[in-house]
Amino acid sequence: MNLILKKARLIEPGNLFHNKVIDIKIKDGIIQKIDTNIQSEEGFTAIELDNLHISTGWFDTSVSLGEPGYEERETITNGLEVAAKSGFTGIALQPNSNPIIDNQSQIHFVKQKANNSSTELFPIGALTKNSDGVELAELFDMKNAGAIAFGDYNKSIENANLLKVALQYAQDFDGLVIAFSQDNNIKGKGIVNEGISATQLGLKGISSLAEEIIINRNLFILEYTGGKLHIPTISTAKSVQLIRDAKAKGLAVTCSVAVHNLFFNDDVLKGFDANFRVTPPIRTEEDRKALIEGVIDGTIDCITSDHNPIDIEFKKLEFDLAKNGTIGLESAYTALQAILPTEIIIEKLTAGRKALGLETVTIKEGEKANISLFNPEGSSEFSQENILSKSKNSAFLGSKVKGKVYGIYNQTNLILNN
């Protein structure tokens, strides 16, 4: 589709046109011209939207979709359409399907399913076979098939030597290891953050130590082995400081935080809403503020929706019986716009490509058009009508949010919300 984006304010610090209102002419998926006023011409569709803002395409570093095996939760086709309408031009797909994505044939399968989508899919291969944490999966074969990194979704590697070997082996082919961090012995039967709220509600708690002790261990291993490590969805103030210190040492470590850990604190547990049962748990207000500080000062590299669809059969249960996870693609931008400056949001929603070792994109003449379209103004309440996913398990239902996502332009396609 050939088009001209009219009167769009570009948010891309470092770009010549940053924070300027411009027109962009796109032909066959390539940015042909950027100027302050481009005249309409035959064969081009003019797109003019209220208070249109644009940025390089957003990338989500942690998305679960279900397929293959859990299509009742979400399919790849619909999940990628949800991502597009949520402003994301690319997602990293977690390997927690059935079967687990732990070999090259599974990598080929999910990539083939995403072939015609406007949002690009980049698979994460499981670090261990069947994500059991016992034996390394076929990392090199999966890398050659298109896997961008290797990790077991929401499963910590208990065997320290296995992580050591993985970091050493992955260096042979410039592989990235993803290490979720939670000590299962300290976690025990805990299901929410250990603190006042858990005690008042009679729910078993998960100490922040469960996360921090494994992050500390993994950083020691990284310092010993070298290589590249990504620590996903951190949730505590001490975790931020541990990673800040590791970066100061020069270690090749990146990390992410989930939107819901930035937006909520554990006071929300009082309603026993199972949508707030997530991994890692929603922590204290002190932790939340430290995470926001980590985002702003650059310690935290990127923000993820940590989108995890769970069908009603496993979510609409008593709190202690429900599965962990919340969907988050649809609410990611508008929730962030309610708590962070726009420039910081865009920086952290676009930084995932670099964090996971992918080629970065920019908005300039001659480049492929990979663009997110949004409006940072206007308040609303996130409701069922905003959910596009097959599963409806959103922690953000009823939350006051800000702004609006218009859609994306990518892969020569314009995808707009109705």
**C-alpha torsion sign, points 198, 204, 210, 211:** negative
* Catalytic residue check, 23: no
Length of the chain: 418
Which residue among 60, 102, 301, 306 is the active-site one?
306
Strand partners, 230: 178, 254
CA-based max dimension of the chain: 67
Distance CA 418, CA 409 (A): 15
Omega within 30 of 0 (cis) for the link into 280? yes
Cα gap 63→47, rounded to integer Å: 30
If we measure between CA atoms, which residue out of 122, 123, 159, 152 comes closest to residue 137? Answer: 152
139: left (phi over 0), alpha (psi -120 to 50) or beta: alpha
What is the layout of strands, in order, in the sheet containing 176-178?
Answer: 58-63, 88-93, 120-125, 149-150, 176-178, 228-231, 253-258, 302-304
Return the active site residues: 306
